[in-house]
Structure formats: C-alpha cells, structure tokens
A = this chain, B = another copy of it.
Amino acid sequence: MSSKAEQIMDEAENLARSHGYNAFSFRDLAAKVGIKSASVHYHFPTKADLGAALAKRYTERFISTLNHCIEPTDTTFEIVQRYGEAYYQALVQDGRMCLCGLFAAEVDSLPEPVAAEVQRFFEANINWLKDILRRDPHVRSEEALEADATFILTLFQGAMLVGRTMNQPEAIHTVMEKLRGTDIYTSRVN
C-alpha cells in the first residue's frame, strides 16, 4: 500500500466518520488530499473498493489498539472500562463516530462488500469481548458469553450514537459507570 493510498484513506476516514458513506464524494475527498478525483480512482477503482478498504483497516486498527492496552494482571472490569474509553476517545477527540457504527446505520444502501466488512467489525468486537470475559474466574456458558459481549458492544455503540447527536460525549462515561451496577463484573475486585 503506497503512502498516497494511505493518505487518501486517512482523509476518507475523516469524511466518512463525519458524514457517512453516502454523503461524501470522490471530489470532496480529492480536494482534502489536494489531488483530482480521477487520481483517487487510480488508487481505489470504485467507491465500494474504498469503502471496504476503510472498514477493513478500521477494524484491524480498532482490535489492535484494544489488544495493545491489556496487561495479564488486568481485571475484567479494568479491561471493559478501557474498551468503553476507546469509544469515548474516538468521539471526543474529533467529534466523529465509529466508522463501522455509522456504516452500520447505512447498511441497506451499502455495496455488499462494504456491508460485509461492517459485519466483520461487529463479529470481531464480539469475539474480542468474549475472549476477555473468558479470562474471568467466573465461568460462563457460551450463551452467557455471547450475551454479555453483545450487551457491552451494543451499549457503547448506542451511547456513541446518542452522545454525538446530543453533543454529550459524556453519555459514554455515564453508561460506563452504570455498567458497574450489572452482573457483568461478577468477579470484580473493587
């Protein structure tokens, strides 16, 4: 991947995380990068190609970031708090949505390859959360793991959506605090 392609993806991600897939054009994007729209097509033949590449890179980076901030001694509680904090930082640093959360809303009008990547993002999140919960001394059934992971994912996706719309990013911290009052942290130390 050339550095120019990455630069294009960086700007495209900014636009997509603000306006969504349907509301940014190759011309908007080219203007941000400082090239012409025909040059964008050289790197990404179609908009679907670009969209799928964006969602894939976003997923890989998101999961990678999560993996890099857990220590073997961390409690489930601490890790899930950091998971929520990742959403908060993504929202508050530049006021932008989760790329795949936003794409998910548009899923019915997304080219199929892009929609598939968005599904993979959610799957990857569920699997990551299940792995974290599996480390927990409290043994859960497979269904309980799935349910707990789904609960955490949907809660933060919703909080991000509502928090951005209402210009209240703190909504993410609000639900993070309320999450303490659930049975998710059965083995919580403090």
Please name the residue on chain B nearest to A148 by beta carbon.
B178
Q: What separation, in Å, do the CA atoms of A20 and B20 have in the docked complex? A: 10
Q: Which of A37-45, A59-67, A68-76, A106-114 sits within the interface?
A: A106-114
Q: What separation, in Å, do the CA atoms of A171 and B119 have in the docked complex? A: 14
For residues 140 through 190 of chain A, which have their beta carbon under 8 Å from a beta carbon of chain B? 146-148, 150-151, 153-159, 161-166, 171, 174-175, 177-178, 181-184
Q: Which of A4-12, A46-54, A96-104, A127-135 sits within the interface?
A: A96-104
In the complex, the answer to whether B154 meets A175 with C-beta atoms within 8 Å is yes
Residues in chain B near residue A19, CB distance under 8 A: 106, 108-109
Whole-angstrom distance between the Cβ of A72 and the nearest chain B Cβ:
28
A89 at the interface (CB under 8 A from B): no
Given A18-B108, A105-B102, A178-B182: A154 in contact with B150 (beta carbons within 8 A): no
In the complex, the answer to whether A181 meets B183 with C-beta atoms within 8 Å is yes
Please name the residue on chain B nearest to A165 by beta carbon.
B104
Q: Mark A8-26, 1 if CB is under 8 A from B, else 0.
A: 0000000000111011000
Q: What separation, in Å, do the CA atoms of A157 and B159 have in the docked complex? A: 8
Residues in chain B near residue A153, CB distance under 8 A: 158, 162
Please name the residue on chain B nearest to A143 by beta carbon.
B174
A29 at the interface (CB under 8 A from B): no
